[in-house]
Amino acid sequence: MSLQVIQTLQQLAAAQATPEVSFDLLHMWKTMGPFAKFIAGVLAVMSIYSLGVMAERLVTFARAQKASRQFAAALRDLLPAAKFGEAVELSRKLKRGHLPKVLGLAIEEYSHGVEALKTHGPRDVGNFDVIAAVNRAVERSSLRTVNDLRRGLGALATVGSTAPFVGLLGTVAGIITAFQAMAATGSGGLGSVSAGIAEALVTTAFGLLVAIPAVMMFNYLTNRVEDMQVDITDSATELMDFFMKEGRSEVK
């Protein structure tokens, strides 16, 4: 093979060499098309929102646990002494806790029921059942409390499940643009569009970075809600047992 042919092949290879791909974020942002920038903006908003939900839920759960521990400790002294009014007032002061919300309403309902029986007598009240009324109050307040604890978790699940697809949409659009540029210039080979494809894949990576923390925190926070729901059920059951053992469910 002559030297001239070798030089010609080397020039062709150099012309079709893979362009240098820069992973500088500022450079990638400048080279992104309008649609890719729009996708990146959407993912940024989703990331900021999910981080806000995570922080708010973590703070809320920490406060709820602290208030519930304080309320449970106080009930050990208030209930045996039949200080139901003080227990209700304390539950209102510690309203951030899940246990004060549920048990406080149950104690208030029980106290009102007992007072009604004492004031009017069983015959005037009819078939009124204090324990049944307390049980209904516990069910209502438990549903509301658990629903409040789950607030924002649906948004985390949505971010975790959709962010990868939003990023993939940006990647597909970027790859289409890269191949259109290759067709317009008439150059062949993957090397001529590798830089564009690499930059297009950034949106997929960004989508995964947004989704992974959201999914992990969703699972963690869901477990926390389930644990608090168990605390509510156990504590409410113990409270009902206390009322029944003390014999205050009915005034004769």
pLDDT at 25: 62
Rounded Cα gap, residues 220 and 53, in angstroms: 13
pLDDT at 247: 56
pLDDT at 235: 93
- Exposed/middle/buried for residue 116 (C-beta within 10 Å: 0-12, 13-18, 19+): middle
pTM (2 d.p.):
0.79
Residue 207, C-beta contacts closer than 8 angstroms, at least 6 positions apart: 43, 163, 164, 165, 166, 167, 168, 170
- Coil, strand, or helix at residue 225? helix
**Whole-Å CA distances, 133 to 7, 79, 103, 174, 204:** 95, 18, 13, 63, 55
The tens digit of pLDDT for each residue in 95-135 reads 999 999 999 999 998 888 877 767 765 544 445 578 888 89
Widest Cα–Cα separation across the chain: 119
pLDDT at 115: 78
Query: Residue ranges of the chain with pLDDT lower than 50?
Result: 1, 5-6, 8-9, 11-19, 21, 123-126, 248-252
- Token pair, residue 49, equals 């929102």
